Amino acid sequence: MSKPSVYITTSDQPVLITEDGSVAGGSDSVKQFSFDHVFDQSYETCELYDKCLRGDLKQDALAGVNATVFAYGQTGTGKTHTMLGDGKLAGIIQMVSRDVLAAAQQHTSTVQVEASYIQLTTRHITDLLAEDAHEVGNLRIRENEAGEVTVERMTKHAVHTEEDVLDLVRRGSARRKTASTKLNVASSRSHAVLTLHVTVINAEGDGDEGDVATFSKINLVDLAGSERVKDSGVEGEHLREACGINLSLFHLAGVVQALIQGNAQVPYKNDLLCYLLKDALGGNCKTTLVATVSPAQLHAQESRSTLQFAASCSLVRNHAGVNTTVLQRERPWAAQAGTAKMSSKPKEAKKVPWHGVTPGGENCPGGRVDLETSLGLVSCLVYGSRELPLVLCLHGHPSTAEDSYGHWLMAALVHSGFLVVAMDMPGQGGSGTKKHCNGGQPLKTRRHVERIVAFHPSYNETQKDELKQVGASTLLIWCTADQFHSWPAWKGNAKKLQNSLGPRLYEEFIFKETAYGKHSWSLHTTAIERCVVRFLTGTDPVAEPSSVHARPLEAEAATDGTTVVRRDNIVMASQAAGLDRHIFQMRDAAREAASTFIDAFEAGKLPALYAAFVSGGSGCLKQEAARLFGSLPCLMSKDDVDCSLLVDLGLWSSMPNGWHAMQQTPRYYVGRRVLVRAPVCPRPNDPAFMALESERCSESGGRGQNQAEYTTFRAVISGFDPIRGGVDVDVECSDETCRTMRVDRAELLRLNQPHQLPIGPNGEVRLEDGIVLKKGSSLARAKFCEMALALRSVAESLDFDASPEECERLQCEAVAAIRGCLDLNTFQRDDRNRLVANGERFRDRDRYCGDDAARFAVHGQGHCHTVSSVMAVFLSAWQKALGIDLKYRGGFAFSDESAEVSDSPEHHQWLEFMTRPSCSMFTCDLYREDGPAGTGALLHQPIEQAYRKSLYPHGQLPVLSGFPVMIAASCASDFADSTC
C-alpha cells in the first residue's frame, strides 16, 4: 500500500496533479513528499493521536522502550497547539499522560512515573519545574558509559494522574520564553521537552540481587519554530533569539543528514538540542515526528523546508531496545553502617571523629540534672564543660530528651566544643510543670540566639509573615518521607525563611528515605550530625590529611644539564597523598576583590579610578578600574545590602549590636509623632501653622466644617482601636490644647510607612527623570563597597540596645557619610563647584551622566529631582542595615513671606527618614544643603524644624518617571498593640 503524499509548489500559480500522481507539465516548482500519515486542517489532534501513537506508545513505555514525539515546523503553524492543546482541546502531552498513567494503574507490577520539564535556548538549559525560577539554570547534559544521555540537576516530580502532569505543564509553561511576532501572537522562543520517566518493578531477583525493573523515557518535545526574519518582523533581543532558533534547527538538520549518509562522526554535540535528542535520532528510541506546515502560499518556502526535513527524518533508522536494571536491596549491614543513599547529599564515606563515643562516657561527660525555672522544675540531660558555648536541644510532643537525643547528636556536639542541654520539655518526662511549650517556638526567637537548627519544626505562623521576623542563621532539616511532618505542607514556610534570611543566613538539608517505614531517618544520622556541626562551627568535622602547604616539587635535570625544580599544577590523585588539600581549594575571588578595593580606598585611589572608569578613553588606570570594579561582588540581597556579606568580605568587622532585636521593634506606639491629614492652618507666618484652629474646629473630633485638609506633623498617636482597626491621634490646636482624631489605619500607613522605590521589568530601580540604577553594574557595586567602608566605623559603634539619642546621632552620621560618597552637586554650582551668584543656574557638561544613577554618584549634577533620586536609591539599600525607614517626599518649599502652602503644584522634592527604635523623623534635603543655606544640618534636620520653617509635604505617593512608589507592607510587630 502506497504512502499518502503531500504536494507543494513555491510558485504562486495553479499546478495540476494527474491521476497517476505526476505533475502535469512537469513544473520544477512542485515537490512531492510521502509520509506514513497526512492530516489536513479538518482533523483534530485526538485523531492524529489515535491513528499514530495511542496503541504502541503506552505499551512500549511499560515494556521499557524509549519513545520520543516532537513537533517541527515554522512559527505559527500549530506545534505548541498540537503538543500542549489550548485548554479546551487536549494536546498530545495530555493524551500520552492519560494513557500511560491509566495503564500504570492497571499494571500487575509496581509502576513509578515521574515527570521533568526543561527549556532549551541557544546556550542554556533551564529547569522549568525548579522550586525557584532562578534556582536551577544552565543545566548540563551528560552521557554515561552506556551511552544514555541525561541532564544534571534536573528535577523530577512523581505523577499519579493526568491532572498532576497538567499542573506541572502549566507551571513550566508560565516560565517558558514566548514573544509576539507577526506570525504568532505567542511564539515560543525556546525548545521545551517534557519527559515521563517510567519504571516498572516487575520481577524478583535471586540471592543477593534485587528487584528487576524496566525503565523508559517518553520525550514530548515542542520545538521552537523556524522563521524568516522578514516575515516575523522581530528585532532586538527577539531577533537574536530567532537567529539562535534557526541555528539550532540547522544543526538538527545536519545531524539527520549525517545519519542518512552513514557518517562515522555525527555532530550531536554541536547543539544542546541535538545532544539531548541523541537517543531519538539514530539511537535507542522509537521516534515520531509531527511536521506542521502552513497552507498559506506566502509561507510555501518554509513549508517546503519543513517537509524536506520530515522526509529526511523518515530515512533515519533507530535501534530501540528494552532497558532493564536491577534495583539493589536494602542490606542490614549497610543500614548499620549508616551509608544509605540520599537524593540530596552524597553518601558519607568517612567515619566521623565522635564515632563510638557514648554520652556519659569519658569523652562525653555529663548526665541528668534538674533545674528550677520560672516554669517550675525542668529535667535536662547536660553534657560537656560549663565554660563552652551553649547548645539548647528542644523537642516536640510527646517525647523526652532521651527519646529525642539520647541516641545521637550529643556526642557530636560535645566533640565539637559545645555545652549541650537537652530538656524534657515542660509537661514531659521528668519536668514537673504541666505547662506545655512548643519545640518549634525557637523559630520566633528574637534575641540571644545566634543560630537555629530546625529539624521537622512543629511551628505554624499565628500572624501573617511572622517567620520574616526570624533574624538568626537557620538550618532547616527535613526528611520528605516523614508521614507525621508533611514537607509539602511546610515548604511554603521554608521558602519564606529562605527569602527573608537570604543565602548566607539560610541553609537546608532535605533528604529522602525510600524505606522510611522500616528505618525512619536513622540511616541518615551521621550525615545529619555532620551537617549540624558544619553549620554551627563553619568547619567540616571529617578531618583532611594534614601536611605541607605546597604543591609537589621535584628536582629534574634540564636539557643543558642544569638542575631545575618542576612545579606541578596538574596533580593526579595518586600523587595527592600527603598534600594539604587547601592548596587545591578555589580562590575566594570576591574576598580578594574586596581586599584590593579596601587597599584602594585607604590609599585614596578611588577618585582617580572612578574618573578613569567613566572617561571615554583608554589606558592602564581605566583597565585597572574595570578589572577591580567588575570583580567586586554585588552586596545586595534583593532590595537591601546583606550585612552578613559585609562581614564575610571584611568590609565590616561586625554587624551593629542588637540589630536583630531592632528589626522587631514597633513602628507605631502611643506617643509617637506621625503625619496625618487634618484641617490645619496653612499659613507659615501664623503661629498656629499646621495646628488646628480652635475656633473653627468641630466639637465632634477635630475636623472642621468644609475646610481643606493639609498634611501636618503636629500629631501624636494616643491610642488604638482593636475592634475597628482605627488609630486615635492627638492633633495640636492653636490654643496649645489637643483634639483627638480617629485615623484609618490604612491612611496612617500611607503617610508614615517606609517607601519602596519602583523596580523595572529587568530588576533595575526606576527613579525620577528617567534615571535608573542597575544594582549589578560595575559602578554600582563599587559605590556600594565604598559606602560600606565609609560606614564601617558607624557600624562598629552603632548599638541598638544603647540610648536612643546615641543611636539617632550615629544614624544621622551614617546618612551624612552616604551623602559624602556621592560626587553629586546641583545646578547652583559652577564647573569649579562654587556657588553661582544671584541664584542663577549653571550646567557643568563634564557632569552629564545620561540616565545612569551610578554615573551620577561618581560625577553628576542635577536639580532637586535628580539629587533626591540618586540619594534615595543608595540610601534605601542601607536602611535595613542602619535601622532607618526612608520616604521619598514631594511638596512645597516656602519662606517666611509665603502666603499659604498648597498640595499642588509640587515645587520641591526631598527625602524623609525615621530612625529605629526611637522613631524620630528627619528630613534630608540635598538640594537646599548644596545651596547657600547648607551647613550639613539639612541632611538630617528634625521634621519639627523642617516642616515648621521651610518644607511642606503634600503626602502623596510619588510617581517616578511613570512608575509609582509603593509603601512597604506592614506586619504585626509594627504596632505596639498587637491586637490593632
| Residue 219: DSSP 8-state | E
Q: Binding residue per annotation — 860?
A: no
Residue pair 129/120 in contact by the 8 Å Cβ criterion: no
Q: Which of 948, 886, 874 shows the shortest CA–CA distance to 914?
A: 886
Strand 67-73, strand 211-222: pairing: parallel
Q: Which of 931, 957, 980 shows the shortest CA–CA distance to 757?
A: 957
Residue pair 812/882 in contact by the 8 Å Cβ criterion: no
Burial class of residue 482, CB neighbours in 10 A (0-12, 13-18, 19+):
middle
Mapped onto helix, strand or coil, the DSSP state of residue 422 is strand
Q: Binding residue per annotation — 74?
A: yes
Tell me how crowded residue 4 is: count the other CB atoms within 10 A of its CB. Answer: 12
Q: Which residue has the cell 498530545?
A: 92
Nearest-5° Cα angle at 430, 429 to 435: 75
Farthest CA pair distance, the chain: 109
3-state secondary structure 726-757: CEEEEEEECCCCEEEEEECHHHHHHHHCCEEC
Residue pair 832/880 in contact by the 8 Å Cβ criterion: no
At a CB cut-off of 8 Å and minimum separation 6, what does 728 contact?
717, 718, 719, 720, 721, 740, 741, 742, 743
- With left for phi above 0 and alpha for psi between -120 and 50, is residue 634 left, alpha or beta? beta
Total residues belonging to the chain = 980
DSSP string, 668-715: B-TT-EEEEEE-BB--TTSTTBTSB-GGG--TTTSPPTTPPPEEEEEE
DSSP string, 492-511: HHHHHHHHHH-TTTEEEEEE
| Residue 968: DSSP 8-state | P
Q: Binding residue per annotation — 80?
A: yes
At a CB cut-off of 8 Å and minimum separation 6, what does 62 contact?
100, 103, 104, 107, 111, 198, 200, 214, 216
Element (H, E) at 856: helix 853-859
Residue pair 953/750 in contact by the 8 Å Cβ criterion: no
Q: Binding residue per annotation — 76?
A: yes
CA–CA gap between residue 46 and residue 89 (Å, rounded) = 9
| Residue 216: DSSP 8-state | E
Q: Which of 304, 299, 308, 305 shows the shortest CA–CA distance to 246?
A: 305
Cell of 617: 578613553
Helix 864-882 and helix 804-820, axial crossing angle in degrees, nearest 10: 130
Helix 778-790 and helix 606-614, axial crossing angle in degrees, nearest 10: 160
Q: Binding residue per annotation — 445?
A: no
| Residue 957: DSSP 8-state | P
CA–CA gap between residue 874 and residue 782 (Å, rounded) = 12
Beta strand spans in 155-272 (E)? 157-158, 178-179, 187-188, 191-203, 211-222
Q: Binding residue per annotation — 87?
A: no
3-state helix, strand, coil in the chain (%, to 5): 35, 25, 45
Q: Which of 189, 219, 186, 177 shows the shortest CA–CA distance to 92?
A: 219
Cell of 633: 561582588
Cell of 368: 541528668
Give, in order, the Cα–Cα distances in Å from 853 to each of 120, 774, 858, 873.
35, 8, 9, 8
Q: Binding residue per annotation — 75?
A: yes
Binding residues for ATP, as ranges, are 73-80
Binding residues, as ranges, are 73-80
